[in-house]
Structure formats: structure tokens, C-alpha cells
Amino acid sequence: MKSNLKWIFFLVASWYANVATAQLSWVNVDSLYQPLPASVHIYYTESKMDTAPFRAYYLIADLKNRNLDFSADTTHNRRLTPTAFYERNNNPVAVVNCTFFSFATNRNLNAVIKNGKLVAYNQPNLAGKGKDSLTFRHPFVSALGISKKRKAALAKYDATKAYSLADAAKIVKDITSTKFDASVDLSIRLGVDPRKANQMVRGSVTLPHGSGKTMRVLALVTPDKEAEAKAAGADFVGLDEYIEKIKGGWTDIDVIITMPSVMGKVGALGRVLGPRGLMPNPKTGTVTMEIGKAVTDSKGGKIDFKVDKAGIVQSLVAKASFDAAKIADNANELLQSIVKLKPSSAKGTYIKSIYMSSTMSPSIEIDSKFLGQ
């Protein structure tokens, strides 16, 4: 597979029919599984196949995103519940049944290595009646499931109801059960087509109560601006040495501030920085001659946001330790900024849905009527 393509993992329990001739209609269901990383998306279908009911999911993830961690596991010839997979793998974002096989030869291509140990070898297929690869059953299975903690959290609110920002913030605090200070995120689905340049939504906003996150700022500047960047609190300051580090795969930062005069050098890092949302941009104030102010803003709660290919803006707005009122204030600030950026070419409903969630918590739908679209 070419390196610039995204890998697709199918979540299927039993699949014996010939899918090649079926017309399946897939629906994005990211909002049901929030919080999700920006480069992860889940789709669902309830199409019929050969007149029989058929339900399936698939998940798309960017394997080049260094912020994502992928791990393999197997059933080891015994059945495991979705909860068992989830709990024994440190409560991941998603558990996916993932099998790799050749369309040309119908041969299984699986070899699973975990922590340096071969835990499953290339087992043969269990042939079906047909000749197509999709009529063969491959022996690696797992599932997408809900943990006991998530079930307990879902019992504390009505998942079919849309709440006000204030109420949603209170619920998020109540259902957050992590041992660390969880992040609180908003996921906003917009009625735009990001493929069109005139419908791209991106910008920055300074949250009134800060983000609660310690931002690691890299200032890529010329020597005459280094003192200004350091005085403003930049964690890393320099130019050529950091460009070489980034080329080597280093991205242990949250924000990059730079100058127009060095964008020629920084632009060459697009393949590394772009997918991670780290590429400086004049529209977000990260390409500027006011280096000190940009660093101070980033350290003080300024966040950047951008609609992804699926038309979704996902952004941190607070920490779960914040008062509910402060969480709601920060969320409202982000939403109002997005409303102001509505493209003139966007038709119909602009804000299609809003969900609030904390790290590993279910998502709460927010009523968007108060935004006055």
C-alpha cells in the first residue's frame, strides 16, 4: 500500500455473503464515539445484503500520525468479550477486528507481533462457498465495545437529549472518572465542504479561562528574534537545528511560531507538520513578526482550530478540573468564533451538531439553537 494512503480497518463479526455485489450506504458516526483523535473516523451501515439484515462498522486512521498509538492483540484461540479486549489493552479509543488478506490469492497475510513476541502466525483461511476473497472467513476476530465504566456514565444522562452548554459542562464533570485531569473537547460538525477552498474554516481563539494544558511552544526564528521568544516563555528556540530534528521525526511540541522570512525553510516540513496540525499559518497568528506576543498568546490559552476532511472541528476547550461555568464559557468562546467564520458560500445549516466530552467519557449533545444560525 502506498505510504500516502490511509489504512481502513473493517469491524465485522461474521461476513459470509459476497459484499462485492452489494451497495452499502455508510454514515459517519464519530459523534457517538467521542472523543476521537482528529485523524480517526468511524462509519456505520445498516444496509441489507442478499435480503438479509447486515450491520457493520469501519474505522479510518492515519498510521503516520505520531499522536496515535497502535497495538495488536489476538484471541489466542479463546473467545473474548469486547469489554475484555478493551480492559486488557489499557482502555483504547477503539478495539477493531483487523485482518489482512490478498484479493488475488485469498491467502491470509496476518502475523501479529506484540512486545517483540510472535503471538499469531499466518493461519490459513476458512473457505466459504464462493471464489472471491470476501467470501472467505479469516480467523482473527475482536470487536468495538463499551466498558462497564462507560455504561455507568451513560446511565447518568439522557443520550437522546440535547443539552445547554451549562448543563453539558456539569454532566461532563459528573461522568468523568479518569485518575488524571482529563481534557474536555468539543466536536462540531459543520455544513461545509472542506474540499472547496472557499469553504475552509480555520482560525484561532483565546479561551477566557485558558485551556488548562501546558503548551509546548517552538519558536523557529532568526538569531535576532531568539531573545524575544525566550523572554516570552518559548520552550524551544532556534531554527536550522530544530528543522533537522523535525525532518528526523521529532514533533514533541504543541505549537510552532515562526516568521515570514523563514517560511521557505519551514514550508519544506509540510509532510511532517501538516498531518499533525502543527504547520504555522498567518491566519492563526503563528507566522508573524510579533514573536513575543504570539508565544505569550499560545502559552496563555490561545488555541488553533481547523475543519477536517469530514467537515468536523474538534478542539480542546478546558480540563475536567475546571468549574462547570468556566468550561461552558470557554466552549461558548470557541463556538462564537466558528459562527463568525461561516463561509458565504456555505448553504443550509452551518452548525449541524455539537458534542462535548472528556477524555474517555461518552459525548453529550449540545443544543445549537442558541447560536442563532
CB 346 within 8 A of CB 197: no
Look-up of cell digits 437529549: 161
- Res. 135 pLDDT band, cuts 50 70 90: very low
Q: Which domains does the chain have, with CATH numbers?
A: 1-145 (no CATH), 162-371 (3.30.190.20)
- Res. 132 pLDDT band, cuts 50 70 90: very low
Kindly state the helix (H) or strand (E) to which residue 189 belongs, with its residue range: strand 183-190
pLDDT tops 60 at residue 106: no
For residue 301 the three cell numbers come to 490559552
- Res. 138 pLDDT band, cuts 50 70 90: very low
pLDDT tops 50 at residue 238: yes
Look-up of cell digits 477536517: 308
- Give the pLDDT mean for 320-338: 95
| Closest to 36 (Cα-Cα) out of 95, 93, 97 | 93
Look-up of cell digits 445549516: 349
| Closest to 61 (Cα-Cα) out of 334, 310, 315, 352 | 310
Specify the 3-state DSSP secondary structure of 199.
helix
| Closest to 205 (Cα-Cα) out of 352, 327, 123, 305 | 305
Query: Among 7-16, 49-58, 188-197, 270-279, where is mean pLDDT lowest?
Result: 7-16
The pTM score is 0.56
